[in-house]
Structure formats: C-alpha cells, structure tokens
C-alpha cells in the first residue's frame, strides 16, 4: 500500500516523488544533467509489457469457483482495478493535503480535480457489476467465504485521510480488525486529515473564514475554486455510496447480509456522510445572511 506523501517545511513544487527532496544530481534525465548521453547503455530499454509487468498483472486473477464460473473473472478484475484506483486516490489526496498545508491553492485544486475524475471513473467501473445477474453471482458466491469489500484497508485509509474520524467509526474499525487498528490507518491518523487542513485554509490565506471566501468569490478566486472542488469530492463520494447501495440491492436484495456480514441497511446509514460539512454550511450561512439583508431593506 502506498504511504501518504508528506511534505514538511516547503511547498510540494520543491519536492519529487514521495515527499523526498532530491539534489539536482539525483534527478535522472535520459540525456543526463548536462545534456550528454548516459555512458551506460547496457540496461535494456523498457517495453510496454515489461514496464507495466503485464504478465504478472494478468496472472493475479485466480477464480476460486469449481468448476470456474465464467462471471467470476469480471468480479475479480473489477475489484482489483478498484484497489488500484484507491492506491492513486491515497497518493493524490496526500499530495493535495500537502499543497493545502503550504497554501499552494492552484496546485491543490489541480490534484483534487484529478481525484474527482478518478472517483467518477471508478463509480462507473463499479456499475459494470450491475450487469451480473443475481443467479449467476449466487452460483459462485459461496466460494468467496467471508471475503468482502468491507475488509479493504485502502478504502478505510481514504475515509480516514479525507476526514472521517469520529470515535464510533474508529471503534468499529478496530472491532472489524480483531481489536487492533491496521498500521496503515494508524499512520494516517498520526497527521491531520484533508478536512482538518482544508477547514483552516481560509485562515492560512489570511481570510477570516470560508464564509468570507464565498461572500467574495472573485476576490478569493483560487481558494473559492478549491472549495468547490472539495465540495464536489464530497458529492462524488455520496454518489459512489448510493451506487454501491443500489448495486448490492440489485444483486443480493435489501435485507440479505453480504459476505462480510453487513446488509444494505448498513450502507443506507452511510449515505449522508460528508467530509467537509463546513463547506455545505457556508451555503446555509449565505442564505441566512441574504435573508436578513432582504428583511432589513424592507
């Protein structure tokens, strides 16, 4: 699992890779630092197949059904691809958080927009499982045992990194992992969440609060656009959760428990989760301020 990028004491533009600042002599160029061709040409140039390790990748789909059910491959590939998307989301969310910490609003905006595109693509990808008819799934479901998406540590890392840190939620995570929080989640918990850093971004920019940003969007353009991108991130997760709920109901029904023991009812309880409630609250505050101003004018 990728470690969340950390950037301390400098803006991310001065950093390369996983939060490690490299001197110029360590930054490799095909022509070398001085423009000259590298002296060692012994290493073979990578190919598409070798660079992506396609052979290894295509060996990782191992259906458990006996005889092998033809629809299980689709089920495996979809979930493996989702874990790969989760890996990128963790990486990009960590970079966005680092940008926010040093006030690089435009850079943070670009990364959040990228995250939103990935999340949209992943939601659509998950939807392809809706073409798996219930009877077909039940024919290989028993071979999955208790394996469940609820066991995805990367998914939980994303939630905690984004800002979901209520005590009850964290207690539930410990319970699901035999009373011990996974190391990856503890690592994320050791630092501020994206939501916590975003909540303080207005003050970092020298503005009173997010209400002031939204009251004068043209004055605080970069921060305003960043706020809108973060709000979209929240909205896209709500859509993801709803699509996931519908997918579960479509395949196993509303009242049935999944392989991990949770039912659609549990998913329903999570539909309204929001990482950035302060950005939603700004809308209410703007509306109330406009109403008071209107009443005063009369």
| pLDDT 10s digits, 212-232 | 999 999 999 999 999 999 999
Tallying the residues shown for the chain, one arrives at: 298
DSSP 8-state code for residue 66: S
Residue pointed to by tokens 């989640």: 185
**Contact status, residue 108 vs residue 96, Cβ threshold 8 Å:** yes
Give the C-alpha separation, 188 to 186, whole Å: 5
Res 96: pLDDT: 98
Give the C-alpha separation, 173 to 162, whole Å: 16
The answer, as to whether pTM is greater than 0.75, is: yes
Give the C-alpha separation, 12 to 8, whole Å: 9
Give the C-alpha separation, 45 to 52, whole Å: 13
Give the C-alpha separation, 67 to 65, whole Å: 6
Host H or E run for residue 216? none
Three-state DSSP state, 288: helix
The model's pLDDT over 160-216, given as tens digits with 9 standing for 90+, comes to 999 999 999 999 999 988 889 999 999 999 999 999 999 999 999 999 999 999 999
12-297 placed in CATH 3.40.50.150: no
**How many C-beta neighbours within 10 Å does residue 251 have?**
18
pLDDT at 22 over 90: no
Instruction: Give the residue, 196 or 32, on which the prediction is more confident.
Output: 196
Give the C-alpha separation, 293 to 283, whole Å: 15
């Amino acid at each position: 699992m990728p470690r969340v990028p950390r950037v301390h004491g400098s803006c991310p533009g001065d950093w390369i890779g996983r939060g490690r600042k490299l001197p110029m002599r360590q930054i490799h160029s095909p022509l070398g630092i001085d423009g000259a061709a590298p002296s060692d040409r012994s290493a073979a140039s990578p190919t598409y197949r070798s660079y992506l390790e396609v052979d290894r990748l295509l060996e990782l789909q191992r259906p458990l059904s006996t005889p092998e059910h033809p629809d299980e491959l689709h089920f495996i590939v979809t979930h493996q691809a989702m874990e790969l998307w989760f890996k990128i989301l963790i990486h990009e969310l960590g970079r966005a958080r680092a940008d926010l910490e040093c006030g690089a609003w435009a850079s943070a905006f670009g990364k959040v927009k990228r995250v939103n595109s990935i999340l949209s693509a992943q939601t659509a990808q998950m939807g392809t499982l809706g073409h798996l008819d219930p009877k077909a799934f039940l024919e290989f479901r028993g071979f999955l045992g208790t394996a469940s998406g609820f066991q995805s540590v990367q998914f939980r890392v994303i939630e905690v990194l984004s800002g979901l840190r209520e005590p009850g939620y964290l207690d539930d995570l410990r319970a699901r992992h035999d009373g011990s929080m996974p190391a990856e989640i503890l690592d994320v918990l050791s630092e501020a969440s994206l939501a916590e850093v975003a909540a303080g971004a207005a003050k970092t920019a020298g503005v009173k609060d997010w209400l002031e940003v939204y009251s004068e969007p043209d004055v605080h353009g970069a921060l305003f656009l960043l706020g809108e991108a973060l709000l979209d991130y929240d909205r896209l997760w709500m859509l993801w959760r709803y699509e996931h709920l519908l997918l579960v109901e479509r395949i196993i029904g509303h009242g049935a428990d999944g392989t991990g023991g949770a039912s659609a009812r549990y998913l329903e309880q999570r539909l309204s989760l929001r990482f950035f409630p302060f950005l939603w609250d700004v809308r209410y505050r703007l509306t109330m301020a406009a109403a008071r101003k209107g009443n005063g004018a009369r």
